[in-house]
Amino acid sequence: MAYNSFHPDNRLIDAMLSHVAEQGWRGLTVADVAARADIPVETAEALCPNRTDLLDMFACRVDATSIVDVGPVPDDPDARYDQLLDIMMQRFEVLEPDKVAVSRLTRDVACEPDTLLRILPQSRRSFAGLAGAAGYPDSGLGGLLFAKALALVWLATQRVWLQDTGADLGETMAALDHNLRRAMAGLAALPPCAGLQISDPPGS
């Protein structure tokens, strides 16, 4: 899905990514991003009262792009696993053009506990949305547990992706499949009170 690069939200996101790729996240202000995007600072601050809102907007754009071509939820559990795997992999592919900025964000944000806390709710919404797009729990206790599991899968796989220079991201795909299978097996082993009814991943 090609997003509208002229929309103020997207102009701010792209300006933020450009700044981070060149100078990093630490010290960045909404005013810096507004100037780079050629948007009045008042408009930028209305859209993003806090600079972490830029990260939330970026995550929302990535998520929407990752699931835009997703078809109906399959009835077969193995096909549903494959759909979730495809969605998660698509998310990495969407991020590939901004890999330098994402790498710097990963390092810089890790040094800012307040930023990590501020983006946590959006992270939960992101992974709950990806789970729901593949027919897995996305609300209640089960949805919370599933979203947390996907977040851990993402973080473990992201380390591989950041070092993966292959055109087909083969190493990333292999790591994602491995990590997702382990997570799904763990979730399937939880008691019924967890609110999850999940089959073991294919080939288990």
| CA-to-CA separations, 17 to 24, 60, 126, 140, in angstroms, rounded | 9, 14, 19, 34
From CA 105, how far away is CA 109, in angstroms rounded?
A: 6
Domain for residue 150, yes or no?
yes
From CA 52, how far away is CA 128, in angstroms rounded?
A: 20
Structure tokens that stand for 180 in this block: 């997702």
pTM of the full predicted structure?
0.92
pLDDT of residue 3: 72
pLDDT of residue 39: 97
Domain for residue 204, yes or no?
no
- Domain of 104? 8-194
Domain for residue 142, yes or no?
yes
Instruction: Report which of 158, 156, 130, 152 is spatially closest to residue 143, judged by C-alpha positions.
Output: 130
pLDDT of residue 18: 98
Domain for residue 148, yes or no?
yes
pLDDT of residue 123: 96
Residues contacting residue 30 through CB under 8 Å, at least 6 positions apart: 41, 44, 45, 48, 49, 50, 51, 54
Domain for residue 203, yes or no?
no
| CA-to-CA separations, 65 to 22, 33, 92, in angstroms, rounded | 25, 22, 11
Specify whether the CB–CB gap between 80 and 136 falls below 8 A. Answer: yes
> Which residues of the chain, if any, have pLDDT below 50?
none
Domain for residue 105, yes or no?
yes
From CA 115, how far away is CA 30, in angstroms rounded?
A: 14
pLDDT of residue 181: 95
| CB burial readout 93-120, b (16+ within 10 A) else e | ebbeebeebbbbbeebbeeeeebeebbe
pLDDT of residue 1: 52
What is the number of domains present in the chain?
1
From CA 87, how far away is CA 138, in angstroms rounded?
A: 15
Domain for residue 31, yes or no?
yes
pLDDT of residue 200: 66
Digit-coded pLDDT (tens) for 89-101: 999 999 999 999 9
Digit-coded pLDDT (tens) for 60-86: 999 999 999 898 998 898 999 999 999
What CATH number does residue 73 fall under? 1.10.357.10
